[in-house]
Amino acid sequence: RRPVTTGRLQRMKADGEKIVSLTAYDYTFAVAEDRAGVDVILVGDSLGMVMQGRETTVPVTVDDMVYHTRCVADARTAALVVADMPFMSYATVEDGLRNAGRLMQAGGAQMIKLEGAGEQAELVSRLARAGIPVCAHLGLQPQLVHKLGGYRVQGRDSAAADAMLADAQALQDAGADLLVLECVPSALGKRVSGGLEIPVIGIGAGPDCDGQVLVLQDILGITPGRIPRFSRNFMEGAESIPGALEAYVSAVREGRFPDASHSFGDAS
C-alpha cells in the first residue's frame, strides 16, 4: 500500500472517495488497522478512557501521548499517524509549538490534532510554518467537558451552526490540513464538509462528511459501559478482529456507515 499523505487525503476528498480513520494506541492494533486498509490512524487522547480507565481525557499528559504514539508509529504503517495534543498542552502558542514538536520527534507522529475554534488559528499557522501538519477538531470538544458540564450534540441552532462553519474556515485559512467534526447534526456535517477545501472526518456528524473516525474499542464491542449512539459494534457478523476491522473499512468506503440511526438531527 502506498503511504497516505496529506496530498492523498486531499485527492480522496476531490474524488469523493471516503477516508477511513480509526483510533489505535499500540503496535499490534496499529498493524492490524493498517492491514485492514485504514487511511488515518488516530492516537486519540481517548486513551485516557480506554487505556487508562479515567473518566475523561483531561488527565492525559504529553508523556502519555508520546508513549502511545511511539507504539503506533513503530508499526511503520502506510496509514497516516495523527496524535492528539492533550489537555493544557497548547494553552499558549509556545507550549503548543514545543509539545507538538515532541509528538512529532519523540512520538513519531506525522500530524497533530488539537481541539478548539478560531482562537487556535494563530497556533495552527505557527505549526504549519514549522512544518507540522494539523488536524483541527470542532463540534463536541471532550477536553471542555468540565466547562460544558457533559457531552452533548453541538451546533444544533442556526447561530451555533454558522459560527462553527466560520471557525472551520478560519482554521483552514490558518493552515489546517484536516478537520475532525464531532457530534453535530448531519445537516451541519454536510454543510461544513461541502464548505471546506480540506477533508472533514466526522464522528457522530452524519454520512456526508469526507470520512469517518471511531474509537477502536467501541467498534470491537469491548468498551466497558455504553457504546455511543454514533458508533457500531463491527464484531457483530464478523469472525475475527481483522474481519471486524475490514468490515468497518468497507462500510465507510462504500457509504454504508453511518446511517441515520448513528446520526443526529437538528433540534426539534
Annotated binding residues for Mg(2+) = 45, 84, 115
Q: Chain-centre distance of CA 89, in angstroms?
A: 17
For ligand KIV, the binding residue among 44, 86, 204, 207 (CB under 6 A) is 44
Sequence-distant (≥ 6) Cβ neighbours of residue 87 within 8 angstroms: 45, 57, 58, 59, 60, 143
Q: What is the CA radius of gyration of the chain?
A: 17
Say which of 182, 197, 236, 246 is annotated catalytic. 182
The residues in 209-228 that bind ligand KIV, with binding defined as CB under 6 A, are: 213, 215
Q: Is 193 in the site for ligand KIV (CB under 6 A)?
A: no
Q: What is the DSSP letter of 85?
A: P
Q: Is 55 a catalytic residue?
A: no
Q: Is 23 in the site for ligand KIV (CB under 6 A)?
A: yes
The window from 41-49, 128-136, 229-237, 245-253 that contacts Na ion (CB under 5 A) reads 41-49
What distance in Å separates the CA atoms of residue 115 and residue 102, rounded to the nearest whole number?
18
The window from 44-52, 155-163, 217-225, 252-260 that contacts ligand KIV (CB under 6 A) reads 44-52
Q: What does the block give as the cell for 109?
A: 507522529
Q: Is 180 in the site for ligand KIV (CB under 6 A)?
A: yes
For the chain, the maximum distance between any two Cα atoms, rounded to a whole number of angstroms, is: 48
What distance in Å separates the CA atoms of residue 25 and residue 18, rounded to the nearest whole number?
23
Q: What does the block give as the cell for 133?
A: 501538519
In the bound state with ligand KIV, the residue whose beta carbon lies nearer, of 174 and 213, is 213
Q: Is 203 in the site for ligand KIV (CB under 6 A)?
A: yes
Q: Is 44 in the site for Na ion (CB under 5 A)?
A: yes
CB 134 within 8 A of CB 127: yes
Kindly determine how many residues on this chain lie close enough to bind ligand KIV according to the rule CB under 6 A: 11
Binding site for ligand KIV (CB under 6 A): 23, 42, 44-46, 84, 180, 182, 203, 213, 215
